Amino acid sequence: MSSADTSLVLNAVIMAVTDDVPRLLMLEHHEHAPAHEGPALPFGPFEPDRHRTLEIALRGWIEEQTGLPVGYVEQLYTFGDRNRDPSERDGGPRVISVGYLALTREAPPSGDAEWRDAYDFLPWEDWRSGRPASVGAAILPALEHWAIGSADAAER
């Protein structure tokens, strides 16, 4: 496989922790994203001729798309499964995505970036008013079903 058959993309989950709730910096529209509904994480392609390192590229994409610099940056995971990206199924290059966590202060962003409540995306994590309903209604039953399905007692 040649480099023309692959694309390396850098994705950022940008968080700010406030007094009330953790916040995520999202984009309403993204020039590199396929048509989809809902907000997108800031991301951009790694361009070896333009970017000396992955982290420098990521920081540049974040600042270009949101107007905000980030402080702490940590690489979390690399996603590279074949046909994970719909464009590859349509004959495009294989897309390898490197995911990062980045932290910054909650300041007004630029463009179409906006801060969103992290619990909008992860409601089962919001225990401020007690156990979330989704834990008892969906998560625990699914875990119990999975555990019962195992033939190995030690695994259960």
- Strand 94-103 versus strand 73-79 pairing type: antiparallel
Sign of CA dihedral 61, 4, 29, 97: negative
Residues 138 and 107 in one domain: no
pLDDT tens readout for residues 20-47: 899 999 998 766 555 556 789 999 999 9
Query: From the CA atom positions of the chain, what is the Rg in Å?
Result: 19
Higher pLDDT pick, 31 / 56: 56
Q: Is the per-residue pLDDT at 2 higher than 60?
A: no
- Same domain flag for 83 and 23: yes
Question: Same domain, yes or no, for 109 and 151?
Answer: no
Same domain, 105 and 155: no
Return d(Cα 147, Cα 137) in angstroms, integer: 17
CA dihedral sign, ordered 91, 92, 93, 94: negative
List, in order, residues 6 or more apart from 79 with CB less than 8 Å away. 96, 97, 98, 99
What pLDDT does residue 133 have?
A: 93
Residues 93 and 134 in one domain: no
What is the reported pLDDT for 17?
A: 83
58 and 103 housed in the same domain: yes
Q: Give 69-83 pLDDT, tens digit per residue.
A: 999 999 999 999 999
Number of CB atoms found within 10 A of residue 51's CB: 19
pLDDT at 30: 62
Quickly list H helices, 96-139.
133-134
State pLDDT tens for residues 80-139.
999 988 888 889 999 999 999 999 999 999 988 999 999 999 999 999 999 999 999 999
Q: Are residues 127 and 112 in the same domain?
A: no
pLDDT at residue 33, as a whole number: 58
**Residue 97, SS3?**
strand
Q: What's the whole-model pTM score?
A: 0.79
Look at residue 1 in the predicted model and tell me its pLDDT. 45
Query: Looking at the structure, do residues 115 and 135 belong to the same domain, yes or no?
Result: no
Into how many domains does the chain fold?
2
Task: Clarify whether residues 113 and 98 are in a common domain.
Answer: yes
Q: Residue 90 belongs to what domain range? A: 3-120
